[in-house]
Amino acid sequence: MYKVADFFCGGGGFSEGFKLAGFKIVFAIDKWQPAVTTHEANHPKAHTYLGDVITISNLPDDEFHKLVPDTEVIIGSPPCTSFSNSNRSGKADKSLGIQLIEAYLKIVARKLLKENSILKYWVLENVPNVVSYIQDSYSYRELGIEHDGTLQVKYPSSKVYNAKYFGVASNRKRYFCGNFPEPEPLITEDKDTISVNEILRNLKEPNHNLNTRIIDPNYTDFSMLSKDITDHHYIVEVAQFEWEKAKRHKQDKGYMGKMAFPEDLSKPSRTIMATMSACSRESIIYPYIPEEKRYRLPTVREIACIMSYPLDYRFYGQSKGIKYKLVGNSVPPKMSFAIARAIAMNDGLSTPKTYTPITFIDDKPNKFINLNFRDFPLNKEKPKRENAKFKYHIPYLKINTYRVELSNKYLDDTNLKIEWVVEIHKSQGPKATKTIPDINMKDIAKEDQLNIDKFVKTMKSKLPHANKFQKYYCMTGEERKQKNLIGPYELLSEIRTFIDDKLDLNDQRTILYNTERFPYPIYIGYIILKKLTMHINKKVLP
């Protein structure tokens, strides 16, 4: 069977897929020690090397070919952070990412140019955005090789593939390019994709059924006793302040669409990220005790199975965060397997019919840290720094992309003098607008005027001046609750409650200001918040 060299190997998902197809993994490299340790443990017959791919790509010929063995297949997944949409909204510096890709391509080119080269196939994986930064072909001289000719990079099989159509329980899109035959999807319709629920039901709940034999959700001819499955029997509960923040980001992010909270387990998982977060839009949060509104993070084993790793695959790291990153940065093994199988079929090679368990060569017994049965206490909210920024709108009040937003503005950075600003925002990007209308009650219904005046009068007695309002914001939510204080979040929530009680959100009336017509409930929310911030800022109310 063909030999494989894996560059930027990470935790070994790319290698694992080829191993499952019967290929022989002989070489792998990564510059992150947990990745090297993980790959080395799960692929003990390979030479796994801790080093820098750019440095290796520039070694003299004798050193280069001595270190990097000749193989029929080269695979690689250069770090994708700079190309990801989640990094500065896709505007991060791409220069290092491009250097890493070109270093990988240089290695491929040098192996192809070697006399009597045996290299037949090579594959590069990255996020979809990378397609704009990879050329169709490179001259060898562009890659720093003194040789005429070009390396073709984009072939008919080079495209974005979604792992969910290859038997992975994750809606994970990635771009693959290079010289390889196009893999054939196992699934063609969304209704047939594997859901998170299917994985979780097979794996069973953490800390339960310890003596039950668990059939691998991805490789059904393999099973393990539940208690022997690593990194699964523990709970990381999400603190209330964390899940409330995550819920806001997912379901009330201003101009962005709603996301499920908690996760919709009836579908394939959203893309597993490298960072294990509990309070962001990208957080993956599962129900824990639903009737008590308690939630948890997935275990490392759960996300590993979602990514199609075998049950016995081990992730070597000192913490759950490192293990999570090893999984999140991976090429899902089943996606990799599909490419390996396409190569095997193209060349008439046979692939194994059954799963072969991993044989660990554990010469350092204390190296592997198992998260099972560890206690992870709830995170505690920390006070914010005194100059923390605030920017949020009346919660869950968006009408035709209009929303009423409150923010703090520093008038004097030295003395931290603060003013609270209210604006009506609409849309996003180039079409985004911000408006600060005058307070005009003439077009407001008399009954609503009376209700507004009454509510504003009540709230004014509870609100401090601007700088103290900032101090309340910097406290923890629990501290504000215990002291019965109203900070920005509480104020916005009170206004939303007023609107729900006194207004019809389906009211089609609009308020004309200059040439723009604001939805009636939006304008009411603006007037209330404007009046109250003028009080907070010690300005005279009209």
Whichever domain contains 157, its CATH number is 3.40.50.150
d(CA 79, CA 77): 6
Contact between 499 and 505 under an 8 Å Cβ cutoff? The reply is yes
Are 22 and 159 in the same domain? yes
Are 277 and 404 in the same domain? no
**Count of CB atoms situated within 10 Å of the CB of 228:** 14
Number of structural domains found in the chain: 3
Are 285 and 417 in the same domain? no
Q: Exactly one of 80, 177, 279, 305 is catalytic; name it.
A: 80
Are 521 and 488 in the same domain? yes
Kindly state whether residue 442 falls inside one of the protein's structural domains: yes
- Write the DSSP symbol of residue 23: -
Token readout for 220 is 């059904």
Kindly state whether residue 371 falls inside one of the protein's structural domains: no
Are 31 and 179 in the same domain? yes
Are 153 and 293 in the same domain? no
Residue 94 has a pLDDT of 77
Contact between 435 and 523 under an 8 Å Cβ cutoff? The reply is no
Q: Where are the alpha helices (DSSP H) in 170-239?
A: 196-203
Residue 91 has a pLDDT of 53
Are 395 and 531 in the same domain? yes
Residue 410 has a pLDDT of 84
175: containing domain: 3-188+332-346
Token readout for 92 is 């991060």
Kindly state whether residue 210 falls inside one of the protein's structural domains: yes
**Count of CB atoms situated within 10 Å of the CB of 351:** 15
Type of residue found at 512: L
> How far, rounded to the nearest angstrom, does the alpha carbon of residue 281 sit from its chain's CA centroid?
8
Last residue of a domain, one of 346, 379, 406: 346
Distances in Å between the alpha carbon of 425 and those of 245, 250, 432, 506?
21, 19, 7, 19
Type of residue found at 360: F
Residue 87 has a pLDDT of 44
Are 216 and 287 in the same domain? yes
Are 36 and 163 in the same domain? yes
Find the helix or strand (DSSP H, E) in which 106 lies: helix 95-113
Are 257 and 226 in the same domain? yes
Residue 89 has a pLDDT of 43
d(CA 323, CA 328): 9
Kindly state whether residue 165 falls inside one of the protein's structural domains: yes
Are 219 and 159 in the same domain? no
Beta bridge partners of 29: 7, 49
d(CA 65, CA 53): 14
Residue 82 has a pLDDT of 58
**Count of CB atoms situated within 10 Å of the CB of 398:** 20
Which of 158, 193, 160, 194 has the alpha carbon at shortest distance from 178?
158
pTM: 0.91
Distances in Å between the alpha carbon of 128 and those of 110, 174, 283, 539?
26, 5, 21, 51
Type of residue found at 87: N
| DSSP string computed for 315-333 | ---SSHHHHHHHHHTSPPH
Are 276 and 340 in the same domain? no
Kindly state whether residue 354 falls inside one of the protein's structural domains: no
d(CA 534, CA 422): 10
Q: Is 80 a catalytic residue?
A: yes
Kindly state whether residue 108 falls inside one of the protein's structural domains: yes
pLDDT in tens, the chain (542 residues): 899 999 999 999 999 999 999 999 999 999 999 999 999 999 999 999 999 999 999 999 999 999 999 999 999 999 966 555 444 444 556 788 899 999 999 999 999 999 999 999 999 999 999 999 999 999 999 999 999 999 999 999 999 999 999 999 999 999 999 999 999 999 999 999 999 999 999 999 999 989 999 999 999 999 999 999 999 999 999 999 999 999 999 999 876 788 999 999 999 999 999 888 999 999 999 999 999 999 999 999 999 999 999 999 999 999 999 999 999 999 999 999 999 999 999 999 999 999 999 988 765 555 899 999 999 999 999 999 999 999 999 999 999 999 999 999 987 766 778 999 999 999 888 888 999 999 888 889 999 999 999 999 999 999 999 999 999 999 999 999 999 999 999 999 999 999 999 999 998 999 999 999 999 999 999 999 999 999 999 865 44
Distances in Å between the alpha carbon of 416 and those of 145, 411, 486?
57, 7, 20
> How far, rounded to the nearest angstrom, does the alpha carbon of residue 349 sit from its chain's CA centroid?
37
Q: Give the E-state strand segments of 118-181 in sequence order.
A: 121-126, 137-139, 150-152, 159-162, 173-179
Kindly state whether residue 459 falls inside one of the protein's structural domains: yes
Kindly state whether residue 368 falls inside one of the protein's structural domains: no
Last residue of a domain, one of 289, 320, 346: 346
d(CA 266, CA 269): 9
The strands making up 286-289's β-sheet, listed across from edge to edge, are 237-238, 294-296, 286-289
